[in-house]
Structure 1
Amino acid sequence: MTYTTDPGRVLEGDEIDLAALIQGLWAQKWLIMAATFVITLGAALYTFSSKPVYEARIAVLPPTLSDIAGFNLARGGKSGFTPFTVDDIYAVFTRNLQSEESRRQFFRDVYLPSLDSERRSGSQDQLYTGFGTVLKIKAPTKSQPAYFIVVERHDPAQAAKWAKDYLDQVTRQSITDVLSNTQREVEIRSQQIQKELKILREFAKTHKNDRIVKLREALTVAEAVGLERPPLISGQVAQQLAAFMDGELMYMRGTKALRAEIEALEGRASDDPFIPLLRNLEKQYSSLNGGFQVSPGNMAVSRPDGAVETPDKPIKPKKALSLVLGVLLGGMLGTFIALVRLMFSKQQLAVAQNSSYSTGQSTLTT
């Protein structure tokens, strides 16, 4: 049985005859089925010939207090440094995790060596753009507070290894950054202490020289009045007089005492024992330069949420979805072609009708 329809009934002016349209499409069902079959076949060939892509991922959370304890060995107490918090350490890690420098380093050290020589000699910018689909960093969301390192590769074992390798690379860099910052702070603080020690020693030396000048002047006065020993005065007057013996009445100590103190000050080998704050500063300096010894193996800047598992199910291509899309796209393409054919059939019919009408009018005129 053959189905026919009048193309002129399908589209007439701005009106659509739905029944005629359906009848016209049904008349071209084999065309629609053929287009659907071809597109679906192409989708199937692409899907089943494509290499499967596996996705390995690892979630990372902030470290615990015990994980960062090693970073604070040279901080707190009398060091003058504020101890690191979990947020301080984790901020360094997340910054390196998402940094362009870390991605570039992994691209150079791991991704490029995995390519064959022909691909490796191509455009580095294009290769790096392609690398962006291989390694991805997913930021936390409200439902998932962890950062995710996601690696997509055709080899599932390689995908898992690269995810772990990138985490290790970022961890090493973050630990190095924290220790370098601490070491720099220690160096700056040590320089400050050295400057303070130098100032205290210079001040002590200046104070000693000033004392010697005052003693020599008092000795001159004492020699002038012939006072060898301090006068014997008892009672409250003696107490009041003793308070002035280091001031304007210093000469009343007598030449013997003044001369002895001058000789002692001039013969002093070091002023350090007479500087009150010096020993505390020396202790801080010694603690900073001798106590900053940490082992990176006892530190952590993040906490992996489980181990990296080797994926066993590919995420691409999605065969069922590809076939469904092939059927839908094929059906839509076939229907579109059928509608175009109906349009052309209508135009050809209209031309034929106009031609017949013109011929009839010519005959009547003759």
Structure 2
Amino acid sequence: MNAISSVVQQPANDEVDLAALFHSLWEQKRLIALVTALISMMAAAYAFLATPEYEVQSVLRPAAIKDLDALSRTGVYKLTPEQAMQRVGATLESYDTRLEFFRANQGLFEALRQPNRSLEQTFERFNQEAFKMLLPDSKKAGNLSSFVGIQLTYPQDVDGVALLNGLVEYSLQVERERIAADLAVVIQNRLNQLDAQMAAARASYEASKEAKIAKLLEADNLKRADLQDELKALRQQLKAQRDNRVAQLDEAIRIAKALGISKPATPSSLGEGERMAQGNVIRTEVNNQQIPLYFMGREALEAERNALLQRRSDDFTAPRIAQIAKELRLLANNRQIEVLNKRENEDLFLKDLATWRGEAARLRNLNVDVSSLKLVSIDQVALEPLHPIKPKKALILTLGLVLGGMLGLFIALLGNMLRRKPETLALAHTA
């Protein structure tokens, strides 16, 4: 019977307990308020006493084509606006560039110094926590143009605006110096290539000229040797012909002496005796055969033989000998070789040399002012922020108030549970 009554009374006890709970919490409202106020004060202390942190950013976009036209007109160094922006972005992201900027501008980082850390250690932590690169999201189709940005989060005592703008300008200057160095190396390499081409052309010209002179000399020597051989053979031929003629004359003289022919005669007159002519006689003889040489008479034949024996040279008898002498005289001096050897400025005869010299002169006279080269367009410079990003006071105060209230309620509930436990045990013992 007692068990049934306890079961029936259980819902009523729960309602009484809930009401008692709220009553107990109301009685501990001062404790809840005190805890809430304490946590809120701690949150407020953090919100108002914590070092504020600010955030600035700078955004770079590709420069206009005209800004890089002076570099493109060199003809040896090509750099598009997108490539220039990517190079500047890589320089901004470079740890070495940031460290060099830190070493050159330590005054901007003076507030970050800590007693137990070196400057490099201080910069290492600041570099990891403060800088963030801003890049376009390739997954979003709404990006109308590419850009590169850098974001800086810094404490209140640091001049973040000067630091970030200085870093951007320093990176631009570093990249300009790199481009100037690259341009100088490219130009020098091109000049070295042109010098090598001109030297090779000169060497090739000298070799070709020497080869041409050698060919001309060889041709002259060969022709001279052929003419001298022809001259020698022709003189031997003429001498042989003269000796043959002398032998023929000797034979004809002997026959003429035997026949008693002293004066030129004919075959028909040879058989007639001397007789007195009673009038003028006109004799005509027609003979198709060659008259033998002894009919010239002994006197004429001896005169011819003596002349042949006294002859010292037969050159005048052959017109070809005079022609050979002329040709040999012309071969004594090759005017083409003389002209080749007397060239004073042989560069004038080199192919493409004028083009190479013109290009070399243009490269040496290039005057590109890289120091004023606009590599990127600064779309957004770092400006002094209007309010810090940390701490967020309203959020911290709200969280402090909520957490303080929750902690106060928890403490009140815990205290209520601890007080009710002995009473519950006593009632259970009595039952």
Q: Same fold (TM over 0.5)?
A: yes
Structure 2 counterpart SS, 1:119:
coil
How much has 1:226 moved relative to structure 2?
3.4
- Of the candidates 242, 260, 271, which is equivalent to residue 346 of structure 2? 271
Q: Distance in 1 between matches of 2:133 and 2:342?
A: 71
- Would you say the 8 A contact 1:54–1:316 is kept in 2? yes
Once the two structures are superposed, the pairs formed by residues 22-101 of structure 1 within 5 Å of their partners are 25-26=25-26, 28-75=28-75, 81=76, 83-101=78-96
How much has 1:327 moved relative to structure 2?
0.9
- Would you say the 8 A contact 1:70–1:294 is kept in 2? yes
Structure 1 counterpart SS, 2:186:
helix
Once the two structures are superposed, the pairs formed by residues 183-198 of structure 1 within 5 Å of their partners are 183-198=184-199
Q: Distance in 2 between matches of 1:298 and 1:311?
A: 30
Q: Distance in 1 between matches of 2:176 and 2:65?
A: 15
- Would you say the 8 A contact 1:56–1:150 is kept in 2? yes
Once the two structures are superposed, the pairs formed by residues 250-269 of structure 1 within 5 Å of their partners are 255-256=330-331, 259-269=334-344
How much has 1:117 moved relative to structure 2?
10
The equivalent residue for 1:202 is 203
The equivalent residue for 2:156 is 154
The equivalent residue for 2:292 is none
- Would you say the 8 A contact 1:73–1:294 is kept in 2? no
The equivalent residue for 2:124 is 128
How much has 1:338 moved relative to structure 2?
3.8
- Would you say the 8 A contact 2:176–2:371 is kept in 1? no
1:309-348 CA deviation, whole Å, 9 max, x = no partner?
Answer: 3333333332211110111221232333344445545665
1:144-194 CA deviation, whole Å, 9 max, x = no partner?
Answer: 7543333434258x3322222111111111212222222222222222222
1:199-252 CA deviation, whole Å, 9 max, x = no partner?
Answer: 11111111111111111111112222339xxxxxxxxxxxxxxxxxxxxxxxx9
- Of the candidates 121, 133, 152, which is equivalent to residue 137 of structure 1? 133
Q: Which amino acid aligns with 1:301?
A: L
Q: Distance in 2 between matches of 1:36 and 1:118?
A: 38
Q: Distance in 2 between matches of 1:213 and 1:316?
A: 91
Q: Which runs of 5+ in 1 are unaligned?
A: 1-8, 10-16, 76-80, 228-251, 361-366
Structure 2 counterpart SS, 1:316:
coil
The equivalent residue for 1:180 is 181
Q: Distance in 2 between matches of 1:52 and 1:353?
A: 58
1:241-300 CA deviation, whole Å, 9 max, x = no partner?
Answer: xxxxxxxxxxx9994497222223334345322221222122222222222x11135411
1:119-163 CA deviation, whole Å, 9 max, x = no partner?
Answer: 36624324431354444433334567543333434258x332222
- Would you say the 8 A contact 1:55–1:150 is kept in 2? yes
- Would you say the 8 A contact 2:77–2:183 is kept in 1? no
More displaced stretch, 37-46 vs 127-136: 127-136
Q: Distance in 1 between matches of 2:213 and 2:107?
A: 76
- Of the candidates 305, 308, 321, which is equivalent to residue 379 of structure 2? 305
Structure 1 counterpart SS, 2:160:
helix
The equivalent residue for 1:324 is 398
1:287 aligns to 2:283 (yes or no): no
How much has 1:49 moved relative to structure 2?
2.4
Q: Which amino acid aligns with 1:220?
A: N
Count of residues in Structure 1 that have an aligned counterpart in Structure 2: 313
How much has 1:19 moved relative to structure 2?
7.0
The equivalent residue for 1:5 is none
How much has 1:353 moved relative to structure 2?
6.7
- Would you say the 8 A contact 2:202–2:347 is kept in 1? yes
The equivalent residue for 2:289 is none
Q: Distance in 1 between matches of 2:328 and 2:191?
A: 44
Largest Rg, 1 or 2: 2
- Would you say the 8 A contact 1:69–1:299 is kept in 2? no
Q: Distance in 2 between matches of 1:18 and 1:172?
A: 74
Q: Distance in 2 between matches of 1:277 and 1:179?
A: 30
- Would you say the 8 A contact 1:218–1:258 is kept in 2? no
For the aligned residues, what is the CA RMSD? Answer: 3.5
Structure 2 counterpart SS, 1:149:
strand
TM-score in terms of structure 1 length:
0.72
Q: Distance in 2 between matches of 1:71 and 1:19?
A: 85
Q: Which runs of 5+ in 2 are unaligned?
A: 1-9, 11-16, 229-326
Q: Which amino acid aligns with 1:109?
A: A
Structure 2 counterpart SS, 1:212:
helix
Change (3 A) 1:126 1:186: same
- Would you say the 8 A contact 1:60–1:305 is kept in 2? yes
TM-score in terms of structure 2 length:
0.62
Q: Distance in 1 between matches of 2:82 and 2:112?
A: 43
Change (3 A) 1:146 1:267: closer
Change (3 A) 1:132 1:19: farther
- Would you say the 8 A contact 1:223–1:255 is kept in 2? no
